[in-house]
Amino acid sequence: MKFTVVHYGDPILRQRGARVDTVDEALRGTIAGMFDTMYEAHGIGLAAQQVGLALQLAVIDVRGVKDRPSQLWISGQPADVDAFMPLVLINPVIRPVGDPVGGPEGCLSFPEIYGEVCRPAEVEVQALNDRNETFEFKAGGLLARAIQHEVDHLNGVLFIDRMDSKNRTEVKGEVESLQAETKKRLRRR
């Protein structure tokens, strides 16, 4: 099952996701569909809002990226990132730690638009997995960036909001035409 990825200009991207109360077969079907959609689009993360569902749910898989390293710690011990993927985050609570670092970011809801975003280098995470179990870990590098980007989506926050004014100005024209195009399409529907 594949979803259509929602583009910027659709109001659902600004909606805060509702807490997931039940992790059941229906939700696991949605999660499988989100992974299919993300892999087909060559993304490394996808939030529920991006497939039209305002829920506290995101999927991540950084294995496809070889030139931007990720780090993982479980119970304070370094752990294998690839073995931890794919990652499902339900009702995640994060605590970004460390100094902010800049890095390039894109978003499947902003096709062809990229910009530099500063975010804390590491993040502590607590979430539910797709078996309804609570788990905790700490991430660094690309994985930390991807998690913060996706958790922002769950709160209606987008990567353009995190850009400094110089970087936001650089993509302003493209972002505005994407927004206009999306709104036009929504009106026709």
Closest distance to Zn ion from the beta carbon of 163 (Å): 13
Instruction: Indicate the residue among 161 and 164 with the shorter CB distance to Zn ion.
Output: 161
Interface residues for Zn ion in 88-107 (CB under 5 A)? 107
150 is catalytic: yes
CA 108, 37, 151: angle at the middle one, nearest 5?
Answer: 55
Q: Which residue out of 112, 150, 170, 174 is catalytically annotated?
A: 150
CB 184 within 8 A of CB 129: no
Q: Find the residue with minimal CB distance to Zn ion.
A: 107
For residue 46, give the 3-state DSSP assignment.
strand
Closest distance to Zn ion from the beta carbon of 103 (Å): 14
Among 14, 104, 90, smallest CA distance to 57 is for 90
Q: Per the structure block, which two tokens stand in for 17? A: 């996701």
Range list of H helices, the chain? 25-40, 81-84, 141-154, 159-162, 165-188
Instruction: Indicate the residue among 94 and 107 with the shorter CB distance to Zn ion.
Output: 107
How far is the C-alpha of 115 from the C-alpha of 68, rounded, in Å? 16
Instruction: Indicate the residue among 13 and 125 with the shorter CB distance to Zn ion.
Output: 13
CB 87 within 8 A of CB 135: no
- Does residue 51 touch Zn ion according to CB under 5 A? no
Instruction: Indicate the residue among 52 and 78 with the shorter CB distance to Zn ion.
Output: 52
Interface residues for Zn ion in 107-166 (CB under 5 A)? 107
Dihedral sign of CA atoms 183, 185, 186, 187 in order = positive
Closest distance to Zn ion from the beta carbon of 109 (Å): 5
Closest distance to Zn ion from the beta carbon of 140 (Å): 20
Residues that bind Zn ion (CB under 5 A): 107
* Residues known to be catalytic: 150
